[in-house]
Amino acid sequence: MALPKRKMSRSNTRSRRSQWKAQVPTLVKTVENGKVTYSLPHRAKLVEDQAGTPLYYEYKGRKVADA
């Protein structure tokens, strides 16, 4: 494992760490049967029945996995 040759100063350490930022996920708004849902793009969507019971996961209109 690589080790630093000299001790890194506190200001350099904190300025390096401050570059890491959390990003807000981009959500896609879809309307199905009058119900508005938000989902992440390029992710499988959970399909539920009228009672809210999860049935399966769907991607691009195809069933990809059981719930």
How many structural domains compose the chain?
A: 1
In a domain, 1, yes or no: no
Answer with the residue of higher pLDDT: 37 or 65. 65
In a domain, 61, yes or no: yes
**pTM exceeds 0.95, yes or no:** no
In a domain, 26, yes or no: no
In a domain, 18, yes or no: no
**Separation CA 47–CA 45 (nearest Å):** 6
Which residues, other chains included, contact 28 with Cβ-Cβ below 8 Å and sequence gap of 6+?
38, 39, 40, 41
Range of the structural domain that residue 64 is part of = 43-67
What 3-state DSSP class applies to 15?
helix
Read off the pLDDT of residues 26-50 as tens digits, 9 standing for 90 and up.
998 988 788 898 888 888 988 888 8
Between the two ends of the chain, the Cα-to-Cα distance in Å is: 42
